[in-house]
Amino acid sequence: MILVTGGAGFIGANFVLDWVARCNESVVNLDKLTYAGNLESLSILKGNPQHIFVQGDIGDRLLIERLLVEHQPRAVINFAAESHVDRSIHGPGEFIQTNIVGTFNLLEAVRVYWSDLPDTDKSAFRYLHVSTDEVYGSLGKEDPAFTENHRYEPNSPYSASKAASDHLVRAWHHTYGLPVVTTNCSNNYGPHHFPEKLIPLMIVNALAGKSLPVYGDGMQIRDWLYVKDHCSAIRRVLEVGRLGEVYNVGGWNEKPNIEIVKTVCALLDELRPKADGSSYATQISYVSDRPGHDRRYAIDARKLERELNWKPAETFETGIRKTVQWYLQNPEWVQNVQTGAYREWLSKNYAERQA
């Protein structure tokens, strides 16, 4: 049995789906079901006794303690987080509460549970903390990619809150001996991605005939990681990662945002051409940049490959094609996540920006 937190979100849901498909081990899936948590992503597991869903908050220590005692998991994997930079700029309070206070409460509940385990179970137990490359700050165009030893320099409320959570996890290992491992990943993309992030937003807006808003000059560079590759890396780290270590997970796919948008448009031109024959790229619109927008992220994932023999299976070309095809094949999922609250958010974040 493992306990997964945030398992109805984008990365967490993909992890749970892959875990159940690949392993005989059961999953207790705790998720608060905020706007980005979507049980529809897990609909294929409905009625499957291997998947136990519990709605709740990682900040609810009593709930966490009860689940640990009741289910006796051998590992806890924490995906639960507020994760959207733009939302953190408009409302940082929720990010502080979930990413910092929530992580603290989860760590404390796990520490007490782990301390009481028999010696054999205690030595086998793992706490895996899923984090982001954004804690390292921004890179110049010619700077070497982030390694695990790069100094923390978070630049947004989101990345600052995740950096704080990383430090808490490190401290609970060094102070209390809690058997932790941490992963810091680059930008994920793939199925079940909530359409406030770049790639799904471009797909959804393009198909709806709306503008494709690109921040600033569109030359912000990111390393792109297919979500199922990320899930395989987490399984590998959970299996053989060294205690107290940090592993960077990247896709070796550095690309500027505008290239990503144009690639999505080209795939849609091929897979769902417009009736008038025009390209979706004509819908691209440049809007004012967001405050403190980091210029470049890049992950050096050689430690993960060298120590744990892991590397991504997908290239960007294969992964982005699979992603666009998934959105074209799942219009009901897309429609159901576009609630009134989501539309209000898009209006607040993009409509107010000057083109």
Q: Is 352 a catalytic residue?
A: no
Q: Is 342 a catalytic residue?
A: no
Residue in 133, 196, 294, 314 annotated catalytic: 133
Residue in 127, 158, 215, 247 annotated catalytic: 158
Q: Which domains does the chain have, with CATH numbers?
A: 2-194+225-252+296-314 (3.40.50.720)
Q: What is the pLDDT of residues 18-77, one digit of tens each?
A: 999 999 999 999 999 887 788 999 999 999 999 999 999 999 999 999 999 999 999 999
What residue has token string 């992580």?
103
Q: What is the pLDDT of residues 191-250, one digit of tens each?
A: 999 888 899 999 999 999 999 999 999 999 999 999 999 999 999 999 999 999 999 999
Residue in 86, 134, 223, 294 annotated catalytic: 134
* pTM of this prediction exceeds 0.85: yes
> 3-state secondary structure string, 267-325?
HHHHHCCCCCCCCHHHHEEEECCCCCCCCECCECCHHHHHHHCCCCCCCHHHHHHHHHH
**Can you tell me the mean pLDDT for 121-140?**
96
* Cβ proximity of 128 and 106 under 8 Å: no
Q: Is 142 a catalytic residue?
A: no
